[in-house]
Structures are given as structure tokens and as C-alpha cells.
Amino acid sequence: MSRVVSLAVIPGDGIGPEVVTEAEKVLDAAVAGTEVTVEKTRFSLGAGRFLETGDTLTDEDLAAIKGHDAILLGAVGGVPGDPRLKGANIERGLLLKLRFELDHYVNLRPSVLYPSVPGPLADAGAVDFVVVREGTEGPYVGNGGALRRGTPHEVATEVSVNTAFGVERVVRHAFDLAEKRSKKLTWVHKTNVLVHAGSIWQRVVAAVAAEHPDVAVDYLHVDAATIFLVTNPSRFDVIVTDNLFGDILTDLAGAITGGIGLAASGNINPDGAFPSMFEPVHGSAPDIAGQQKADPTAAILSVALLLDHLGLAEEASRVTRAVEADIAARTGAARTTSEIGDAIAARLQA
């Protein structure tokens, strides 16, 4: 009955290692005494590795990572403007490369406003929705280029590539999720401007919606969606959208639910062909790195998503409940990164 889960751990840069330490602490506490053993392999990847070796993600790294059941990632990215990183694009070469190579087509980003958490909205109401962001298409494909670079006649293109195949699989996933939640789905795009991509989305949503007559479906342009996120966020339950719009909406969603210190995400390959990757939405925040100032909660909630993805629903919900209890007990007094991790782990042991 015992089960071994192999986990690739990528602490990364900046506050990444600090928050990952706490996430691992909570993961260990969650599986302690169960049939599950987690075997971890650490991968040194990110700006730090690049500065040391010049590598971003080698074929060997990628092959080794692929051999794991799941990935836990802290955050990657060096100090902005570091001249030694000029020409390196850690985000594209590492984070996005992993999402694309591992076919993470569902980028799952839940947003919950906990009653005790101060948010920027005067009257947010109850906020509890999930953004299903497409993760392998759209303007993120890296398809573009420049002509006459560096001259006054320079032309640069960025090509958003969208496929019926790619849109359908993520839309289906979102409808399945809506069936398990409040049966309400909002799809977001900019169909009046991006007419070709928008047309795929429109037809795919209509077709999948026809198979889910019990799910209420509405559509918002991305600009209108940002308005509703600040004026009436409780209108949302499941949002499904394109890669770039999902990036924007989930940062905004994080902000209205008390900051991206709490926002977790899963980069999921639902087919199981490749390991899924779990990471806080926040970045590496080099300005506060190593100071025990970062909130590890987003990383810890990412562990809950990870456990859930591995089919360990009971362990996942214990982590979520421990986090909720910790958040509810927050007094506003400053705690270090490890104090927060310790407190949440202790609730799991209790």
C-alpha cells in the first residue's frame, strides 16, 4: 500500500529557496504517518545557475525533470537590470520552456479572499473563483522576430498561435471544473479585435457548452473582465481564458484577494504524460531575498494543489485547512518566512 512520489524541487532565485523550504516543511508534515513517501531531487536552476555555468535549462536537466512525478518551483529570475544577465531570459528559457516542454496546458490559479485578509477593495463580497489559464499557446509561443533591428526602420512581430486542439482541451477542463463547482463559467477574450483567435474560442466554447447544458456560460472582453474583478469579483466562479489574458487577470485577482503572497498556481498536464509543476504566482523578489520577509503561504498553497493533483485529496485539504486556520489567526504582527511555515506545519501535526 505504500506509495513513493518523486518530486523535482526547483528552489530558484531570490525568495524562491526560502518559500520552498517552508513548502517542503508543510509537504513533509502532510504526508508524515501516511502511506506516501516523497523522494525529492533538487535542481539548481535559475539566474544563479546561469551566472555560474551559463546554462538555463539543458537537455539533461529537462530529461531528469521529466522522470519525476511532479515539480515544486519557488521562483526564478535575477536582479532586474543585472548587466551579467543581459541577453539571458530566464523566464522564457526556463519557466516558459518547462511549461511548453511539459505541455502544461492548464494553468490553474485559484483566488480566494479570506475573511481576515485585508484587500484593497472597500466591499469585495465573497471572492472564490478559479482562473483556468491556457498555458501552451497564444502570444506566449515565442513566435515572432525583428527586421532591421536597431535601425529606425525596425519592425518586430509577435505571433499569437491558437489551435482548435489547444483551445478545446483547456475549455473542456474548465467545464469539468465548473461542473464540480458552482456550474458557472466565464470565458474571457478580446473577440472584437483578435477575431481569428477569438473565433476559435467562441466556437469551441459554444460546442463544449452544448454538452454541459447545466453550466451557465457568459463571455467578457478582457478589458471588461478587469472592471468586474474590482467592482464585483464575486460574480466569478470559473474563468477560462488565453495565456496572456490569464497572466494579467490572475495578477489582478491576486491583488484583490490580498496580494500575490497568497496566490498559488499549478501548471498542469492533465493527461499525465509529463509531470505537472506547482509554484506561487509571485516572482523572485530579489529586493527582499534572504531576509525572511517573504510570505511562504502561496508556495504552501501550491503544495495543496500538488497533493490534489497527485490524487491525495485528503492530504491536500488538510494543508488548505491548516493555511486557512493560520490566516484566520493572523494578528498583523510580522512573522518570518520560517515562522509562518512552522506555524502551518504545526497545525498539520496537531
Ligand X SMILES: CC(C)[C@H](C(=O)O)[C@@H](O)C(=O)O
Residues near ligand X (CB under 6 A) are: 91, 95-96, 192-193, 223, 247, 281
Residues 302-337, buried b or exposed e (16+ Cβ, 10 A)? Answer: bbbbbbbbbebeebbebbbebbbebbeeeeeeebeb
Q: Contact letters (x/-) for a copy of itself, 89-108, by CB under 8 A?
A: x-xx---x------------
Q: Is 55 annotated for ligand binding?
A: no
Nearest-approach distance from CB 15 to ligand X, in angstroms: 14
Contacted entry of a copy of itself, ligand X, none for residue 154, CB cut-off 5 to 8 Å set by kind: a copy of itself
DSSP state of 303: H
Q: Is 119 annotated for ligand binding?
A: no
Q: Hey, which residues does 70 pair with through a beta bridge? A: 7, 276
Active site residues: 140, 190, 223, 247, 251
Q: Which stretch binds a copy of itself (CB under 8 A): 2-10, 161-169, 286-294, 329-337?
A: 161-169
Q: Which of 99, 23, 73, 56 is CA-nearest to residue 284?
A: 73
Q: Is 287 annotated for ligand binding?
A: yes
Nearer to ligand X by Cβ, of 141 and 325: the residue is 141
- 321, 299 Cβ separation under 8 angstroms: no
Q: Contact letters (x/-) for a copy of itself, 118-147, by CB under 8 A?
A: -xxxxx---------------xx-x-xxx-
Tell me how far apart the terminal alpha carbons of the chain are, to the nearest angstrom: 24
**206 belongs to the binding site for a copy of itself (CB under 8 A):** no
Q: Which residues from 62-91 bind a copy of itself, rule CB under 8 A?
A: 89, 91
Residue 265 contacts by C-beta under 8 Å, 6 or more apart in sequence? 107, 108, 109, 250, 278, 279, 280, 281, 302, 305
- 72, 302 Cβ separation under 8 angstroms: yes
Over its C-alpha atoms, the chain yields an Rg (Å, rounded) of 20
Q: Is 290 annotated for ligand binding?
A: yes
CB atoms closer than 10 angstroms to residue 198: 18
Nearest-approach distance from CB 214 to ligand X, in angstroms: 31
Q: How far is CA 189 from CA 3, 140, 202, 244, in A?
A: 42, 15, 9, 10
- 98, 71 Cβ separation under 8 angstroms: yes
Q: Is 202 annotated for ligand binding?
A: no
Among 165, 272, 329, 349, binds a copy of itself (CB under 8 A): 165
What residue numbers does the annotated binding site for substrate cover?
A: 99, 109, 133, 223
Q: Which residues here bind a copy of itself, judged by CB under 8 A?
A: 89, 91-92, 96, 119-123, 139-140, 142, 144-146, 149-165, 168, 190, 192-197, 199-200, 203, 222-224, 226-227, 230-231, 244, 247-248, 250-252, 254-256, 259-260
What residue numbers does the annotated binding site cover?
A: 99, 109, 133, 223, 247, 251, 283-295
